[in-house]
Amino acid sequence: MANVKVIFGSTTGATESAAAEIAAAFGVQAINVANATADDFNADLLILGSSTWGVGELQDDWAVKISLLESADLNGKLVAVFGLGDQSGFADTYCDAMGILAKTAKNCGANLIGQTSAEGYGHSSSAAVEDGMFCGLALDDNNESEKTSSRIGAWVEKLKTHLN
Ligand SMILES: Cc1cc2nc3c(=O)[nH]c(=O)nc-3n(C[C@H](O)[C@H](O)[C@H](O)COP(=O)(O)O)c2cc1C
């Protein structure tokens, strides 16, 4: 069995609940980054999630613990990212924190998987988008909570194909 770890940072619970759903699909428990240790960043597939706060910033617990990710040896490791944001209220910085996680993981040698199309979202700008693709899974419980479960389901299936 592949070793899958899901690490999240969440202030009001939205990212926590998405992380729990993603982790359950892999039969594991999600880890709150506030309690994470360096060991938690060692996995066959590392799934990292953050909401965006301030204007385009990492969630607070991620901001405190980002050095754990920066110092992880992710060479050749599969990493996928997901983010929660508000594409209407923060249209210029939608899910920027997910972009920060992806960039940091790539700097550590990660093989980033799980990119998704940005089509159909209503934001105007995002640090998590390149060439029309999000670097991971973008969720929006403020405006489109009804889409969250199906978006997670489709994304998880895609990630699982990389483990076979
Ligand atoms: C003060 C404040 C700042 C926010 N800044 C952003 C932002 O820059 N970009 C974004 O996409 N969402 C932003 N959001 C929306 C949150 O990311 C969103 O509500 C998210 O679901 C919170 O997830 P959490 O409960 O897991 O922390 C902001 C929300 C608040 C209240």
In the reported structure, the alpha carbon of residue 51 is separated from the centroid of ligand 1 by a whole-number distance in angstroms of: 6
pLDDT digits (tens, 9 = 90+) for 23-42: 999 999 999 999 999 999 99
Ligand 1 pocket, residue 138 CB under 6 Å: no
The string of DSSP letters for 122-137 reads --S--TTEETTEESSE
The residue nearest atom 29 of ligand 1, judged by CA position, is 53
Ligand 1 pocket, residue 17 CB under 6 Å: no
* Burial classification of residue 12, based on how many CB atoms lie within 10 Å of its CB (0-12 exposed, 13-18 middle, 19 or more buried): exposed
pLDDT digits (tens, 9 = 90+) for 138-150: 999 999 999 999 9
Token pair listed for 5: 């770890």
Q: Report all structural domains of the chain as residue ranges with CATH numbers, in order of start.
A: 4-161 (3.40.50.360)
Split at pLDDT 50, 70, 90, the class of 157 is: very high
pLDDT digits (tens, 9 = 90+) for 91-138: 999 999 999 999 999 999 999 999 999 999 999 999 999 999 999 999
Contact 76, 112 (CB under 8 A): no
Q: Is 68 helix (H, G, I), strand (E, B) or coil?
A: helix
